[in-house]
Amino acid sequence: MAEEAATTRPEFPIGRVKKIMKLDKDINKINSEALHLITYSTELFLRFLAEKSSVVTAENKRKTINLDHLRTAVKRHQPTSDFLLDSLPLPAQPVRNTKSVSDKKAPAPPVGTRRIDDFFNKGKAKVDSS
């Protein structure tokens, strides 16, 4: 019984799937069945990515899946590689919110501006001297 329920109730929020689909302006209407199928297939895809990545991780005798493992896993499956490989960040490229990379390089302030902490540092120096 629980098994049956699980096969028909998607794990992913359907509304979110629909939003993502609608980001493409060419997409008009989606039938409810089609929406469910895409949601479920996305879960299958995610499971596939997880499984293949963890295989690569184990091959490398690691416990933490990292981007290289993911990339290798993607490369090994041709259909996935065809659409996904280019989307993966390059080895040296920072992923959008990762803090570890931003710690290493502070972005240069735009031309004509200065960093706000420069202001505070100078202000402090003034206060000290007066």
Partner 1 sequence: MERGGFHGYHKLPLNTTTPSKPEKFLMAESSMHLPEFNQPNKTSNGSEEECTVREQDRFMPIANVIRIMRRILPAHAKISDDSKETIQECVSEYISFITGEANERCQREQRKTITAEDVLWAMSKLGFDDYIEPLTLYLHRYRELEGERGVSCGSGSVSMTNGLVVKRPNGSMAEYGPYGPVPGIHMTPYHYRHQNGFVFSGNEPSSKMSGSSSAASGARVELYPTQQHKY
Binding site for partner 1 (CB under 8 A): 1, 4-5, 7-9, 11-14, 16-17, 19-21, 23-24, 26-38, 40-47, 49-51, 53-54, 57, 63-67, 69-70, 74, 78-79, 82-84, 87-89, 94-100, 113
Kindly tell me the sign of the dihedral angle through the C-alpha atoms of 106, 110, 114, 117.
negative
For the bound state, the minimum distance from the C-beta of residue 126 to partner 1, rounded and expressed in Å, comes to 21
Asked if 14 contacts 35 with a C-beta cutoff of 8 angstroms, the reply is yes
Nearest CB to partner 1, comparing residues 99 and 104: 99
For the bound state, the minimum distance from the C-beta of residue 65 to partner 1, rounded and expressed in Å, comes to 5
For the bound state, the minimum distance from the C-beta of residue 2 to partner 1, rounded and expressed in Å, comes to 9
For the bound state, the minimum distance from the C-beta of residue 99 to partner 1, rounded and expressed in Å, comes to 8
Q: Coil, helix or strand for 8? A: helix
User: The tokens of 66 are what?
Assistant: 């990292």
Closest residue by Cα to residue 42 from 79, 23, 66, 14: 14
- Cα–Cα distance measured from residue 15 to residue 23, given in angstroms and rounded to the nearest whole number: 13
Nearest CB to partner 1, comparing residues 16 and 124: 16
Nearest CB to partner 1, comparing residues 97 and 129: 97
Nearest CB to partner 1, comparing residues 113 and 130: 113
Nearest CB to partner 1, comparing residues 50 and 125: 50
Longest dimension (CA), the chain: 78
User: The tokens of 114 are what?
Assistant: 């200065």
Asked if 28 contacts 6 with a C-beta cutoff of 8 angstroms, the reply is no
